[in-house]
Amino acid sequence: MDPKLLGLMGGVGAAGAGGAYLAVANPFGEKGELTSELIKSEAFVKPLTKDDAKWNEAWKRYKEAHKVSSSPDSYKEKDIWGLSEWTQKKSQDSAFEGFKNECETRSKLRVDKESQEYKDFKNYCARPKTVSELIGEDSGVTLLSKTGSGEDTQWNDAWKKYKAANTSATDANTDTWKIQDWTSAKSNDVATSHYKDACEKQANMDIDLTKGLSDTNFVNVKNWCTKPA
């Protein structure tokens, strides 16, 4: 399992395969808060939606938590959530509807934020926010649009900052983002289409959960691809 995800998302369920949680046994209890509300307070992760492209990664994390240590290609007979199709689906790479439905069910349970059940929900039913999503929550700046109009001046200002941060990058592929045609483009004051493409690419990357707002890529995108709000 990716250690970056384990660090802030809570790791593997401590109850073990087949273990039970109080909130599952008593899903209508009034103690705790709704998981769907708790997850909204998380700074760097958000719950997976039904059509999210990250479901297979979440399913992989769930499966890997159930691997038999003595046999890397084998999985435990019982899983912590008691999925009805676990035996049939545990060897496949694609997340199936039963797994997604279980996440939806668990989003409606009342749990304590420090409980293992909530940590497991974050790990298996949520994903890291992208850099662009995190910047979108910052009221001070706005991500520049590659296809938008009326932002030429702001793009050129951003390009100027990028060039200033890469003054020692005199050869091709030596600048931070390895902008295409860097050796010729760096002498131009107009932001190139390749630079705008790089901004879009970097902004769509996941935030590094182990670093949060100190994530180098997040800092770079905020410095080089935004305008004041």
Residue range(s) defining the domain that contains residue 221: 132-228
138 and 195 in a single domain? The answer is yes
Contact assessment for residue 119 and residue 10, using Cβ atoms and an 8 Å cutoff: yes
150 and 83 in a single domain? The answer is no
Number of domains, the chain: 2
Q: What pLDDT does residue 70 have? A: 77
Q: What pLDDT does residue 28 have? A: 47
Q: What pLDDT does residue 146 have? A: 92
Of 78, 100, 128, which residue sits at a domain end? 128
Write the DSSP assignment of 41-77 as a string of letters.
G-SSEEEPPTT-TTHHHHHHHHHHTTEETTEEEEE-S
Q: What pLDDT does residue 149 have? A: 85
165 and 111 in a single domain? The answer is no
10 and 101 in a single domain? The answer is yes
119 and 150 in a single domain? The answer is no
User: How far is it, in rounded angstroms, from Cα 92 to Cα 193?
Assistant: 40
Residue with tokens 């992989």, as numbered in its chain = 60
Of 86, 109, 128, which residue sits at a domain end? 128
222 and 145 in a single domain? The answer is yes
Of 128, 152, 185, which residue sits at a domain end? 128
User: How far is it, in rounded angstroms, from Cα 178 to Cα 181?
Assistant: 9
- Residue ranges, the chain, pLDDT below 70: 1-30
55 and 113 in a single domain? The answer is yes
22 and 124 in a single domain? The answer is yes
Model pTM score: 0.81
121 and 24 in a single domain? The answer is yes
144 and 104 in a single domain? The answer is no
CA-based nearest residue to 144, from 153, 42, 69 = 153
Q: Torsion over CA of 211, 66, 96 and 125, rounded to 10 degrees?
A: -30
Which is it for the CA torsion 96, 97, 98, 99, positive or negative? positive
202 and 165 in a single domain? The answer is yes
114 and 166 in a single domain? The answer is no
Q: How far apart are the first and last CA of the chain?
A: 38
